[in-house]
Amino acid sequence: MSGQQIDALVVGAGVSGLYQTHKLREAGFSVVTIEAAPDVGGTWYWNAYPGCRVDSPANIYQYWFSQDLLDEWAWTERFPTQPEIKRYLQHVARRFDLYSAIEFETRVRSAQWDEEAGRWQVVTDTGSTYAARFLVSCVGLLSTPKVLSFPDEEKFQGKVYHTARWPQSPVDLSGQRVGVIGNGATGIQVIQTLAPDVAELTVFQRTPQYAVRMKNYKVDSEMMASWRADYPRISKLVHTTFGGFTWDPAEEGVAATLTPEQRHEVYETCWADGSLKMFVGTFPETLVDPVMNAELTEFVRGKIRIQIDDSALADQLIPSDHGYGLKRVPLESGYYEAFNRPNVHLVDVRSEPIEAFYEQGLRVGGREYPLDVLIMATGFDAGTGTLSRMGVTGRDGRSLTELWQRDIRTTLGFQVHGFPNLFLVGGPLSPSAAFCNVQTCIQQQIDWITDAIVNLQQSGKRTMEPTLEREEAWVQHHDEVANSTLMVTVDSWYTGANIEGKPRRLLSYIGGAHVYRELCNDIQKNGYPGFQLA
């Protein structure tokens, strides 16, 4: 079998796929990018649900490779909506002529390493085939939706939507009886947005969430001018911080030198910022020390409680089974207050799980909840979900799906032993997505991958692959850092616990994006020790 001979096949035309395509083309490689959607955007294409917006500020949720790009672009809000980010990505794709590289509405069916040819043989569902020297996965950490199924779904006369497969044309829900399952970052945005518009909103909650009040504002031309002027400084700064933002938490040990009142002042300042600074910007000890975590948790509980009129309802909406910050903290804009409305109802599906659909709605604990529309905001098979479904077969016929079913492992998130010339952007065990501003971390990874490919080309070698020992060392280091945190004690997509049967491991590296970057730079400077170049 052999397909069109190309240098690189990139999978995905979202935030990372676009930049990876641009970088490889700029380096002189022939590139084909395969994208399942009919347009660019990835996450920002599919998640067209009501209320979807980013929770990193726009002045850092952007590309860092072109000042011109920002000079030509104007953000309208500190935390822009999904349509605005999609427009930005479309603009990037036009501006750098990336559309010409992309095969839309196409999915990779299989990718097989051909040892003799030293190429990936890739087959898509449209029948196109490629023989690519390099296979670069830009499929996104959160791209395969977790869809629930309940008995008798076929009987339900209403509509069912998953937020990550929301129709591209607007869905009019005004006057409807809407149910929402899921109150993670996505569900929170849906619930707060729909509450004032729909007739009845029933929220089926399994686990309550801590969320931080988002401080959003309009960005005027003056602010945009200052962001443009600050671009050179910020583009460097984000690569030096723990989370790829413009700020860092206090240094380790500082918390212990402060009084509780002084620490509260820090919490108040971070809370007032209305951003993820309240997540990873206070003290590092809050994520590792149960006492410090309990202090911060109490602070946040107090902030939430005052937003909810009914104290019994507040008890249901405020988590009591896990500490603050141990799952991804969503930002909210009126989420808790939505439950003060008479048309919003909370149903506890922890004590009595959802049983089945019936013609007019959902049945829970023997009670019927009539619905016109059910929205699943039930998350993703994160990190490994999409690549595991792509039929990737490496050296000696080894299956990536089977490997990751046993044990989720990579070398710095970039590569997997046994899969030469397969590169992952935002792959498992790298900081991206969970513990880093995605834009910062994926660009750092793409720069590293592109340099590695150029290096291979220049040195006259054909393949690059991590050794088993190097991979083992990375996994061990990753686990050591992960297991020192309280995050591994909590069930969430961070640990893979949201997907039945998935091996448990913290999916993203939590040693710091700046630390990771230094490690990557050292590997590059020292000629890729631990990687076999053949």
Cβ distance to ligand NA7 smaller for residue 123 or 349: 349
Using CB under 6 A as the binding rule, whether residue 378 contacts ligand NA7 is answered as yes
46 within 8 A of 143, measured Cβ to Cβ:
yes
Q: Which residues from 428-467 bind ligand NA7, rule CB under 6 A?
A: none
Using CB under 6 A as the binding rule, whether residue 349 contacts ligand NA7 is answered as yes
Q: Which residues from 46-75 bind ligand NA7, rule CB under 6 A?
A: none
Residue 53: CB minimum distance to ligand NA7, A = 11
Q: Which residues from 181-220 bind ligand NA7, rule CB under 6 A?
A: 181-187, 206-207
Cβ distance to ligand NA7 smaller for residue 11 or 180: 180
Which residue in 279, 493, 509, 528 binds ligand NA7 (CB under 6 A)? 493
Q: Which residues from 135-154 bind ligand NA7, rule CB under 6 A?
A: 142, 148
CB count in 10 Å sphere of residue 521:
13
Cβ distance to ligand NA7 smaller for residue 49 or 423: 49
**331, 281, 297, 294: which is closest to 435 by C-alpha?**
281
CB count in 10 Å sphere of residue 464:
23
State how far the alpha carbon of 377 is from the alpha carbons of 50, 98, 163, 196, in Å. Answer: 11, 31, 5, 18
Angle at CA of residue 44, ends 40 and 50, nearest 5°: 135
Cβ distance to ligand NA7 smaller for residue 3 or 383: 383
Stretch that binds ligand NA7, among 175-183, 213-221, 295-303, 355-363 (CB under 6 A): 175-183
Cβ distance to ligand NA7 smaller for residue 17 or 184: 184
Number of residues that bind ligand NA7 (CB under 6 A): 19
Using CB under 6 A as the binding rule, whether residue 166 contacts ligand NA7 is answered as no
Cβ distance to ligand NA7 smaller for residue 185 or 219: 185
Q: Which residues of 173-195 are buried (b: 16+ CB within 10 A; e: fewer)?
A: beebbbbbbbbbbbbbbbbbbbb
Q: Which residues from 210-269 bind ligand NA7, rule CB under 6 A?
A: none
283 within 8 A of 299, measured Cβ to Cβ:
no
364 within 8 A of 354, measured Cβ to Cβ:
yes
Which residue in 328, 409, 470, 502 binds ligand NA7 (CB under 6 A)? 328
State how far the alpha carbon of 373 is from the alpha carbons of 48, 177, 356, in Å. Answer: 16, 7, 15
State how far the alpha carbon of 437 is from the alpha carbons of 8, 212, 413, 514, in Å. Answer: 26, 17, 16, 12
Angle at CA of residue 493, ends 487 and 494, nearest 5°: 35
Residue 519: CB minimum distance to ligand NA7, A = 24
Binding site for ligand NA7 (CB under 6 A): 142, 148, 181-187, 206-207, 328, 349, 377-380, 493, 498
